[in-house]
Structure 1
Amino acid sequence: MFGLFKNKKKETIQKYLKEGAQLLDVRTASEFNGGHIEGSKNIPVQVIDQQMNALDKEKPLIVYCAMGGRSNIAAGKLKANGYKVVNAGGIGSMRKYLKS
């Protein structure tokens, strides 16, 4: 059953990428500066409420963090504010989704 959700997420991420998705890294600035996915915007989950206006509501968002917990929180807040979002989970998973 878990594989079905993983495949659905992968399909959604690939669809969003084709639609010109924004990549959003919600880790801290120091984590982001230590390495991130090229083209990602960094808005730490702690300030997502105050800074989500910097994101384009017309483009889908792919959100990631270190392990998936913070991106889940950020994705929920963004969805509640009308953004089209998928939570990719951790940065390792995000890298795998980009390779496929």
Structure 2
Amino acid sequence: MFGFLKNLLGQSDDQTIANAIREGAFLVDVRTPAEFASGSVPGAVNIPLNDVGARVAEFKNKKGIVVFCRSGNRSSQAKSILERNGIKGVINGGTWDHVASIKQGL
């Protein structure tokens, strides 16, 4: 069941996320500013989902991008928006605490 949900949300496996982080991926928390203020991945920037389309320029020329949120739903939407706007190398990291734990383990 989890594998099905993981595929449905477009999430990547832990190794892919870890490799992207090691290579200096742009870490983007797409939650609201209030959610972001309550805790996020060290080094991440906050670009709320509602702002992603208007801020596509900030994603250009990034070596890799990992987007994440509270549940993986908004990050999946952000990934789709970015890909529709020609941004490549976007990884849906799922939840912010999942990405934080991967980063901490490196």
Alignment of 1:48-67 (within 5 A): 48-67=52-71
8 Å Cα contact 2:30/2:74 also seen in 1: yes
Percent identical pairs in the alignment equals: 30
C-alpha displacement of 1:82: 2.3
C-alpha displacement of 1:56: 4.1
C-alpha displacement of 1:58: 3.2
Pick one of 85, 88, 92 that aligns with 1:83. Answer: 88
Alignment of 1:35-50 (within 5 A): 35-50=39-54
What TM-score, normalized by structure 2, do the two folds share? 0.80
Give yes or no for the alignment of 1:96 onto 2:78.
no
| Contiguous gaps of at least 5 residues in structure 2 | none
User: Which segment is superposed worse, 76-85 or 32-41?
Assistant: 76-85
- The one-character-per-residue Cα deviations of 1:8-54 (angstroms, maximum 9, x if unpaired) are 62121112112210100000011111211111011000110001212
Of the two structures, which has the highest relative contact order with CA contacts closer than 8 Å and spacing of 6 or more?
Answer: 2
CA distance in 1: counterparts of 2:49 and 2:65, whole angstroms? 14
CA distance in 1: counterparts of 2:97 and 2:37, whole angstroms? 16
User: Which SS does the other structure have where 1:59 is aligned?
Assistant: coil
RMSD: 2.2
What TM-score, normalized by structure 1, do the two folds share? 0.84
User: Which SS does the other structure have where 1:13 is aligned?
Assistant: helix
CA distance in 2: counterparts of 1:12 and 1:20, whole angstroms? 13
User: Which segment is superposed worse, 82-91 or 21-30?
Assistant: 82-91
